Amino acid sequence: MALAGKQISRATQVAGRRMAAVRPALASRVSRSARLNTVCKVHKICVLPGDGIGPEIMEVATKALSVAGGKEGETFEYKQCLIGGAAIDATGKPLPDETLEVAKQSNAVLLAAIGGYKWDTLPSAQRPERGLLAIRAGLNAFANLRPAIVPRQLADSSPLKRELVEGVDILIVRELVGGIYFGQPRGFGTNEKGERIGYNTDVYSEPEVERIARVAFEAARKRGKRLCSVEKSNVLEVSQLWKEVVIRVGADYPDVELSHMYIDNAAMQLLRNPKYFDVIVTGNIFGDILSDEASMLAGSLGLLPSASISGSGPGIYEPVHGSAPDIAGKDMANPLAMVLSAAMMCRYDLAIPKVADRLEGAVNAVLDAGLRTADIYKAGTPNTRLVKCSEMGAELMKHL
């Protein structure tokens, strides 16, 4: 391999092992990937560049994916579709029917970012974010896996002290197609005083909680055997149900230490003592908040990938960060999280881990070389150099 002799960082090695931990709970998905790969070496990828910096980072990722795949005899067939604001501008809908159909017929979905100031004044049902929620629901991508690992090269870039973040290795398992983002009823109305109100419904069924809990327990079983369930059961009935079901499922995993924490305390402990956590399982809105907070342990959202998967069908692979409309088109974006998302896709939907190894190795190599985009650049740090998105992409190609 072209990467022979180059040591892949502990962070990327651990990320691979840790994310592999969910495979037992999703055996049908792995079997599906294996069958696909024995039939054909052409992998059909639904590419969704989206909005803001999305097209810039997607260009880097697909180029890197093609080069890495070529080295291993793998071919990718890309079908680019619209989602989010770009789809609204072209079709009036945040998720066109064609996009969802292409996604369903693909082996995996690679998504960059959606949204932006341009569409902030649209009615709620027509905003770009509805497209993201709709494709998750349409593919039944119920489990969102977000690793929060601090690369050794960037421990000093964290806003927290090195001794707090060095060695941090957390996996957040977030339920993705239920809870307050999808609950009904929702909307606007008036109260008994005639005042205008907005309302949403936070609702989970027992089966929904059980299936995400099992994914989390399986992951914890292959890691440090510690699972923390985060909710707000002192206030919310939906959280009381959540806790009851997680405890019941936990009886099937006596080797996993189960703890419980309220969301407000969990948010504090992520900053105070992040090494306490191994695997966190939580609902949609709490997972949204905690995963973004955890990503900043590494100093930037620009380095962290995520996977949204189901028991069958294609998964959605996307960076944790947003569309960053303020820097869109300025060649300032960090493409590394997008590239690492492509690596996760190769490892867990396409079952071609050698391609994932190449992508992760190239990311590690550019960080070792001191290359930093603006989000992870710290002036005065020895042996580092500020680069643009396109420059980072070019350097990745050299290492591939």
- Give the separation between CA 171 and CA 86, rounded to whole angstroms: 32
- The pLDDT, as a whole number, for residue 340 is 95
Helices and strands (H and E) in the chain: how many: 14, 14
Residues acting as catalytic residues: 181, 232, 264, 288, 292
- The pLDDT, as a whole number, for residue 152 is 76
- The pLDDT, as a whole number, for residue 282 is 98
- Where the chain has pLDDT below 50, the residues are 1-21, 23-40
Task: Enumerate residues 6+ apart whose C-beta is below 8 A from 333.
Answer: 53, 56, 57, 302, 324, 327, 373, 389
Reported as a single tens digit per residue, the pLDDT across 249-265 is 999 999 999 999 999 99
Domain 159-298: CATH superfamily is: Isopropylmalate Dehydrogenase (3.40.718.10)
Task: For tokens 């059980």, name the residue.
Answer: 210
CATH number of 40-149+300-399: 3.40.718.10
- The pLDDT, as a whole number, for residue 31 is 38
- The pLDDT, as a whole number, for residue 379 is 81
The dihedrals phi and psi of 280, each to the nearest 5 degrees, come to -115, 130
- The pLDDT, as a whole number, for residue 2 is 36
- The pLDDT, as a whole number, for residue 273 is 94
Reported as a single tens digit per residue, the pLDDT across 33-56 is 444 444 447 999 999 999 999 999
- The pLDDT, as a whole number, for residue 1 is 33
pTM for this entry? 0.80
CATH 3.40.718.10 residue window(s) in the chain:
40-149+300-399, 159-298
- The pLDDT, as a whole number, for residue 59 is 98
- The pLDDT, as a whole number, for residue 19 is 47
